[in-house]
Amino acid sequence: MHIHGMHSTFFLIWDNYYNSIVVATLGDASLEDRHLARMVLGKGKEIPDGPALLFKEAGAWKTITYGEFSERILRTAASLKDLGISRGDRVAIFSANMPEWSIADLSILAIGAVSVPIYATNTSDQARYIIEDSNSKMVMVGSRGHHDKVSSYAKDKGIKLVSFRDIDEEGTVLFRSLWEKEARPQVLRSIEKDLSGFPSSDIATIIYTSGTTGEPKGVVLTHSNLFHQIDSVDEYFDVGPEDRSLCFLPLSHVFERAWTYFIFHAGAQNHYMEDTKLVMEYLSDVRPTVMVSVPRLFEKIHSTANERLRKASPLKRAMFSWSFKAGKSYNTLKAEGKTPGPFVSLKYRLADRLVLSKIRNIIGGDKKFLASGGAPLIKEIGEFFQAAGVLICEGYGLTETSPMISFNRPTDIRFGTVGKTAPKVKVRFGENGEIQVKGPNVMIGYHNKPELTRGSFVDGWFRTGDVGEFDSDGFLKITDRIKDLIITSTGKNIARQRVELTLGKDHYIEQVIAIGNDRSYLSALVVPYFEALEEYAKERKIPYTSREELIKRREIIALYDERIASVQKELASFEQIKKFTLLSKEFSQASGEITPTLKNRRKVIMDRYGDLIEKMYEDEDPIPSI
C-alpha cells in the first residue's frame, strides 16, 4: 500500500506516556488505521500457509507459517494480558535474533503495549539501565546468559521475567507456555476489538541508541513512523512471498527491525540467525534473495577477493580483470535502463561463467538487491558487487528517523552517495553543513529527556549531527560527523571518517582510529585483521608465540608501513597518517570501547591508550609550519 499526499506538522504535545513536553511528528488521518500488529495478523488471513519465520533446530530448518505466526501472536497477547500487561506498558526484549523475538514483539504491540529492545551483547549494567529508564514491567530473555544478567534485578524490582529458552527457575515464565495456552474466546475477541481501535500515533517502540558519548537515549517511535519506512521501501523495491531474507543484523537495531516489518508486509520469508559469526554459512544455506547488512560484511568479501587475486597467477589476474570489466559494462547499462547489445551480452555470459557467478555464490547466489546502512559503503565496493551482478543499495538514517532519511533505488543509484531523500522527507543544511530533517519518519522524542528532545530540533527540524551535501542530481553525500571532524594545530579541518574508511579498506586492517585534534599531524591506532595476519606470518615462517609478540616483529611493522602508505595515496598530504601503533586486542563492547552497533567510543579508546598516543607525538614540532 502506498500513501499519497501526507502532510507532516511539527508541534509540541503533552505526551500522556511521559507527562512531559516533547516534539512530535504526526501524519494526517489517512494513517490512523495503520498498525503493525494488525498488518501481520492480516497476513495470517491472507496467506495462512505462506512461510513466515524460518529457523534451524538440531541442524534442520523449521517453518512457522503466517497462519501459525498470527495464532501465536494472539495467544501470547492474551497471556500477556493475564499477566497484567496492558496498553502503554513497556516490555523489554533482551535476546539474539530468533522467531520468538518477532512473536513477542508483535504480541506486545497487539495489546497496545510498547516493546523495548535490548542488544543481546549488552552487559548487565547496560540492560538494567534500559529496563529501569523505560520503566519496563516485564523482561523477555533469549538465553540463560541473558536471564542471569537481569534475573536478580528483575526479581528485586518485581519485574516479570519470561524466557524464550527452557529455564527451570522459580519466578521465570517459559515463553512457549504463553502461546501454547488455549486462550478464552472472549479474551481473543476483546484483543481484536481493542486492536481495531488503536491509532498509528500510538507508540510502538522505544529503541535505546548505543551511546558513543554519555548514557543511551530512548528514541520513541510510533507505528506511523515505521509505516512510513514500509511504504517508502514498498514504492521502489519489488519483494513478495517468494523472497527470502536473512535476519542478520540484530532486531534491536532499527534497520533490521524496520526491514523485518517490511518483510512481513510483503508476505516474504524471514530466516533467523542467532550467531552472526555463522553468516557465511547461513548465506550459503539460505541463499537469500534480499537482505540488509552493514558495510563490514561486503568489505570483508571484497578485501578477501582482492587478496586472493593478488596471490593468483598472472593468467588468473588477467581473467579476473577482464571478467569484471565485462560485468561492469553489462550491469551499468542494465542499471541505466538500457538493453546491452549482443556482443556485450556474450562477453558477460562468458565472464559470468568464468568468475562473476563464483563471487555471487560466496554470498548465497543471485540477489534481487542487498541494502547497506549504518556506516558508509566505499564506492569501489558497490561497483565491485554491481559488476558481479549483485546490486547494493546504500541508504542513510538514524534511529531517530526510523531509520531512513535517504536511499538509493535499484533504478536510480549512484555509488558513493546515500541516494535521494525518502518520500515525504525534507532535508536542509544548517550550521557547519549539518543535515537537518523533517518528515513522518522523525521520532516523537527521547524518552524521559524533554530538554534533550528540545535541543535536538531547531525550528522544527531534527538535527542529525552529520555533515553532508547534495550533488547536482539530488543524491545526498555524507562527509562526516560534526563531532568527528579533526582540527589540527595547523588549522586544517579533516574528515576523520574519510581517513578511517580509506585505511579500513586494507585486507590486513580490522579496526582503526585516526587521531590528530590539536596536533601537527595525524596518527592512528590500528587493530590488525589477525586471521589474515597470522596466515601471512605462517606463510613467511615468521616466528611468534602471541599476538603481542607478532605485532612487534620488524617484518610485521614493515608490512603495515608499506600497506598504509599505499592505501592512503588517495588522501591529501595533510590527511595522511604519519605514525601508527598496532594493537594486540580488538576494540570490544565488553571493554566499553565500541557500541553494540560497532561504533567506536572514541573518548574511552583515547583515554585507555593515552600513553601509546603520546609516544607517537614525542618528536612533534611544538611550532608546526602551515
Q: What is the pLDDT of residues 64-114, one digit of tens each?
A: 999 999 999 999 999 999 999 999 999 999 999 999 999 999 999 999 999
Mutual angle of helices 36-46 and 99-110, in 10-degree steps: 110
DSSP 480: E
Helix and strand counts by DSSP (H, E) for the chain: 22, 29
223 contact partners, CB below 8 Å, separation of at least 6: 34, 35, 36, 109, 198, 199, 200, 201, 202, 204
Does pLDDT of 442 surpass 70? yes
Q: Where are the beta strands (DSSP E) in 276-368?
A: 290-293
Within this chain, do residues 279 and 302 fall inside the same structural domain, yes or no? no
- Do 277 and 314 share a domain, yes or no? no
Q: How many CA atoms lie within 13 A of 203 on its CB side?
A: 26
Does any domain span residue 448?
Answer: no
pLDDT tens digits, 378-395? 999 999 999 999 999 999
Question: Smallest Cα–Cα separation from 526: which of 599, 583, 576?
Answer: 583
Residues 157 and 266 in one domain: yes
Task: Choose one of 397, 423, 449: the last residue of a domain.
Answer: 423
User: How confident is the model over 434-461, as a mean pLDDT?
Assistant: 96
Last residue of a domain, one of 284, 302, 319: 284
- From the CB of residue 450, how many other CB atoms can be counted at a distance below 10 Å? 18
pLDDT of residue 579: 95
11 occurs within a structural domain:
no
Q: What is the pLDDT of residue 10?
A: 29
With residue 462 as reference, give the H or E element that holds it.
strand 461-470
Q: What is the pLDDT of residue 624?
A: 37
Q: Is the pLDDT of residue 626 over 60?
A: no
Clarify whether residues 119 and 268 are in a common domain: yes
How far apart (Å, rounded) are the C-alpha atoms in residues 358 and 355? 6
**For residue 101, which of 175, 47, 158, 155 has the smallest C-alpha distance?**
175
The pLDDT of residue 304 is 86
Would you state the cell numbers that stand for residue 38, as one nine-digit string? Answer: 494488525
In this structure, the number of other CB atoms found within 10 A of the CB of residue 173 comes to: 16
Residue 260 CA to residue 248 CA, distance in Å, equals 11
Looking at the structure, tell me whether residues 187 and 262 fall in a common domain: yes
Is residue 94 a contact partner of residue 139, using CB atoms and an 8 Å limit?
Answer: yes
Q: Does residue 454 lie within any of the structural domains?
A: no
> Is the pLDDT at 509 greater than 60, yes or no?
yes
- Domain assignment present for residue 444? The answer is no
Lowest mean pLDDT among 210-224, 328-342, 361-375: 210-224
Q: What is the pLDDT of residue 283?
A: 96
Q: Is 132 in the same domain as 244?
A: yes
pLDDT of residue 211: 59
Task: From 413, 385, 391, select the one nearest 471 (Cα to Cα).
Answer: 413
Whole-model pTM over 0.85: no
What percentage of the chain reaches a pLDDT higher than 70?
Answer: 93
The phi and psi torsions of 249 (rounded to 5 degrees) equal -70, 155
Residue after which a domain boundary falls, among 391, 423, 455: 423
- Which residues neighbour 363 within 8 Å (Cβ) at sequence distance 6 or greater? 283, 301, 370, 390
Residues in the chain, total? 626
C-alpha cell at 559: 608490512
Same domain? 247 vs 358: no
Residues 310 and 263 in one domain: no
Query: Of 217, 212, 124, 265, which Cα lies nearest the Cα of 587?
Result: 212
Query: Quick check: 164 and 98 in contact, CB under 8 A?
Result: yes
**pLDDT band at residue 8 using 50, 70 and 90 as cut-offs:** very low
pLDDT at 506 over 50: yes
User: Higher-confidence residue: 485 or 333?
Assistant: 333
Q: Is the pLDDT of residue 154 over 50?
A: yes
- pLDDT above 70 for 27: no
Residue 46 lies in a domain: yes
pLDDT at 88: 97
- Same domain, yes or no, for 259 and 143? yes
Do 321 and 356 belong to one domain? yes
What pLDDT, on a 0 to 100 scale, did the predictor assign at position 526?
97
pLDDT for 5 equals: 30
Specify the pLDDT at position 7.
Answer: 28
Give the domain range for residue 52.
Answer: 36-198+237-284
Residue 314, all three cell numbers = 598472472
Cell of 596: 553494540
Model confidence at 3: pLDDT above 50: no
Question: What pLDDT, in 10s, does the model give residues 205-224?
Answer: 999 986 555 678 999 999 99
Whether 435 is in a domain gets the answer no
E strands present in 76-165: 90-94, 114-118, 136-141, 160-163
Q: What is the mean pLDDT of the chain?
A: 90
Residues 268 and 298 in one domain: no
Report the number of distinct structural domains present in the chain.
3
Does some domain include residue 231?
no
Kindly report the CATH number assigned to the domain that includes residue 106.
3.40.50.12780
Q: Is residue 40 part of a domain?
A: yes
Dihedral over Cα of 270, 272, 277, 282: its sign? negative
Q: How confident is the model at residue 494 (pLDDT cuts 50, 70, 90)?
A: confident
Mean pLDDT of 172-193: 91
Do residue 493 and residue 605 come from a single domain?
yes
